[in-house]
């Protein structure tokens, strides 16, 4: 290998390294306004996440209450059906009088 080739390779290496360093220093950095906006957006995100969690908790409570009320409704409906069934079997005390027909 000759000295000229060796110097040319070193020169190319130096150029590549210096070009890389100059590109690295030119990368964009976050500005103060962008940093403030980012902090505000993160704060808003936390607030919205908290609101979502509260609404999900509220939804769970309401669903549990609805389930409880449906259980009470079913119990009442079962009692009404039981009473109707027993009233239908009630003995006919006056065979010649029916409540739907009135007095003869």
Domain span at 50: 30-88
The count of structural domains within the chain is: 1
In a domain, 58, yes or no: yes
Token pair of 67, please?
């389930």
Q: Is residue 64, in this structure, part of any structural domain at all?
A: yes
Q: Give domain status of residue 5, yes or no.
A: no
How many residues comprise the chain? Answer: 104
Q: Is residue 68 part of a domain?
A: yes
54 assigned to some structural domain: yes
Higher-scoring residue by pLDDT: 102, 49: 49
CB 71 within 8 A of CB 64: no
Predicted structure pTM score: 0.50
Q: Is residue 50 part of a domain?
A: yes
* Residue 104 falls inside a structural domain: no
Confidence band of 49 (pLDDT split at 50, 70, 90): very high
Q: Is residue 18 part of a domain?
A: no
């Amino acid at each position: 290998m000759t000295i000229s080739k060796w110097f040319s390779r070193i020169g190319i290496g130096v150029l590549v390294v210096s070009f890389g360093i100059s590109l690295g220093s030119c990368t964009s950095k976050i500005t103060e306004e962008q940093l403030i906006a980012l902090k505000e957006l993160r704060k808003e995100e936390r607030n919205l996440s908290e609101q979502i969690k509260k609404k999900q908790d509220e939804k769970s409570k309401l669903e549990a209450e609805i389930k409880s009320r449906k259980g009470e409704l079913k119990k009442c409906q079962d009692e009404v059906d039981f009473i109707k069934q027993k009233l239908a079997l009630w003995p006919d005390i006056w065979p010649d009088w029916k409540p739907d027909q009135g007095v003869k």
